[in-house]
Amino acid sequence: MKRTRKVKILATLGPASSEEEMIAKLYQAGADVFRINMSHTDHASMRTLVERIREVEKRVGRPIGILADLQGPKLRVGTFAQKSVRLKVGQQFILDDNAAPGDETRVHLPHPEILKAVEPGHRLLIDDGRLQLEAVKTDGHAIVCKVVAGTVISDRKGVSLPDTDLPLGALTGKDRKDLEAVLATGVDWIALSFIQRPEDLAEVRKVVRGRAWLMAKIEKPQAVRRLPEIIELADALMVARGDLGVEMPLEAVPGIQKQITRACRRAGKPVVVATQMLESMISAPVPTRAEVSDVATAVFEGADAVMLSAESAAGSYPVEAVATMNAIADRVERDPTYGGVINAQRSEPEATGADAISLAARQIAETLKLSAIITYTASGTTGLRAARERPHVPIIALSPVVETARRLSLVWGTHCVVSDDATDLDDMVDRACRIAYEERFAKPGDRVIITAGVPLRTPGSTNMLRIAYIGSDGLGGL
């Protein structure tokens, strides 16, 4: 199945979209990669979802990526004797290590690491910021707070700490079990929640050992402050605007989204924009105008992918949500201003031969109006470099490694094809031209440009450009 759209769509699976037929419908509507949220999925259900996605993959004959999203540390208050209490702005309220049920003066906080880490002046945001507290005094066992805004707190509400560096690792006990379970099924991407520091990624890499690519979810101010280091260690980033909008001023989130998107583009790392993109379609068959503009903004910025959460996982219109996102992206990419916006955000290539080759391939393809850029990529690196250039022509990524093709299905502009490796240069040209012809990206008489590494089958050695004609038989010629 050929898609002309360059930005990819990441759809979350859930109660509304867990059956194989529905997954197939979501793919046909435009989903390129499927997300399994381990916050709401047990191991047996996760394995079933992976099996169903792979069955759909066989049916459509296209590589489909799977992203497993780990829950990360969920910080919550304890319970109350009356289930909930009402507070007053300005009053004192205490979070402590006493396990007794809470009341109007205090509640248990079953996280000793928070009790030790919070300092006077730090903010504590309860229930997605609906209740805002400020620490006045701490002693390692209790945090005496002042109520700044909000009046209600109830059982097990979440706690966000925008000012506090928590001494927590990237993986909780649940995450470690989930990680081993999802890796055993062969998922392609692992998303890490609540990343604070680059060391969090290094810790997970030791466990993953190359079995999947790592996506760092940026949802804490601490991660924004160390963005360059996190980008260097991650394989991709997600702008997780939900929690980011809780821990940072809402008006700061759009600028941070642009900052992250452009930093990832400069680094050649994929970036996903997520959360509330078509939120109203959870219960309505059409989105709001503001939501359409939100999706369009991410596409104009050159994001690799846009994501649906509850819209496709638990909403009443999962197929319509994917189809709507597909239609928005397709229309934006055909807008006469789109190319200029994308071009204006290009950055200089890295000073390597492979990056120079990718730049030259894009320039030649656009100057000569070639039909496609075809990259041979075993590890995925060449495909990422081609996508970094954001060419106007399609990118066909050929890989003998099915896992690589699935991972690249998240990457901007890449049409991934699993193909046997070429035996020599002539076979490389013929194979590339035949696939461009069969996949309907080129017709006889058209020209394509091919990039590869010579000697063949040497990962990361992209050093060759070749322009080829598509012959009447679909094979290549000089």
Whether residue 295 contacts residue 306, with contact meaning beta carbons closer than 8 Å, is answered with yes
- Laid out side by side, the sheet with 395-399 consists of 414-418, 395-399, 373-376, 447-453, 462-470, 476-477
Domain locations in the chain? 8-72+170-336, 84-160, 353-477
Q: What is this structure's pTM?
A: 0.93
* C-alpha atoms less than 13 angstroms from C-alpha of 309 in its C-beta half-sphere: 17
As given in the structure block, the two tokens for residue 70 are 């780990």
Q: Which residue shows structure tokens 């040209």?
A: 429
Catalytic residue positions, numbered: 35, 76, 217, 275
Whether residue 218 contacts residue 237, with contact meaning beta carbons closer than 8 Å, is answered with yes
Q: How many CB atoms lie within 10 A of CB 224?
A: 17
DSSP string covering 149-181: E--EEETT-BEE-TT------S--HHHHHHHHH
As given in the structure block, the two tokens for residue 113 are 């690491």
CA dist., res. 33 & res. 17, Å (int): 14
By CB neighbour count within 10 A (0-12 exposed, 13-18 middle, 19+ buried), where does 143 fall? buried
pLDDT number for residue 168: 81
* C-alpha atoms less than 13 angstroms from C-alpha of 352 in its C-beta half-sphere: 11
Whether residue 470 contacts residue 437, with contact meaning beta carbons closer than 8 Å, is answered with yes
CA dist., res. 241 & res. 261, Å (int): 13
Shortest CA distance to 142 belongs to which of 108, 92, 169? 108
pLDDT number for residue 478: 53
pLDDT number for residue 8: 98
> CATH number of 353-477: 2.30.30.790, 3.20.20.120, 3.40.1380.20, 3.40.50.970?
3.40.1380.20
Q: Which residues contact 370 (CB under 8 A, 6 or more apart)?
A: 364, 393, 446, 447, 448, 449, 467
DSSP string covering 374-397: EEE-SSSHHHHHHHHT--SS-EEE
> CATH number of 8-72+170-336: 3.40.50.2300, 3.40.50.1820, 2.40.110.10, 3.20.20.60?
3.20.20.60
pLDDT number for residue 299: 98
Shortest CA distance to 189 belongs to which of 401, 419, 404, 413? 404
Strand 8-13 and strand 373-376: the pairing is: unpaired
Instruction: Give kind and range of the element (H or E) at residue 218.
Output: strand 213-218
Backbone angles phi, psi at 108, to 5 degrees: -70, 135
DSSP 8-class letter at 191: E
pLDDT by position in tens, the chain (length 478):
789 899 999 999 999 999 999 999 999 999 999 999 999 999 999 999 999 999 999 999 999 999 999 999 889 999 999 999 999 999 999 999 999 999 999 999 999 999 999 999 999 999 989 999 999 999 999 999 999 999 999 999 999 999 998 888 779 999 999 999 999 999 999 999 999 999 999 999 999 999 999 999 999 999 999 999 999 999 999 999 999 999 999 999 999 999 999 999 999 999 999 999 999 999 999 999 999 999 999 999 999 999 999 999 999 999 999 999 999 999 999 999 999 999 988 888 788 888 899 999 999 999 999 999 999 999 999 999 999 999 999 999 999 999 999 999 999 999 999 998 888 888 999 999 999 999 999 999 999 999 988 776 666 668 889 999 998 876 765 5
DSSP string covering 43-74: HHHHHHHHHHHHHHHHHHTS--EEEEE-----
Shortest CA distance to 213 belongs to which of 194, 196, 238? 238
Q: Which residues contact 63 (CB under 8 A, 6 or more apart)?
A: 57, 402, 405, 406, 408, 409, 416, 417, 418
pLDDT number for residue 473: 75
Helix (H, G, I), strand (E, B) or coil at 118: coil
Q: How many CB atoms lie within 10 A of CB 64?
A: 21
**Thinking of the domain 84-160, which architecture would CATH place it in?**
Beta Barrel (2.40)
CA dist., res. 305 & res. 299, Å (int): 8
pLDDT number for residue 477: 59
CA dist., res. 20 & res. 304, Å (int): 26
pLDDT number for residue 457: 64
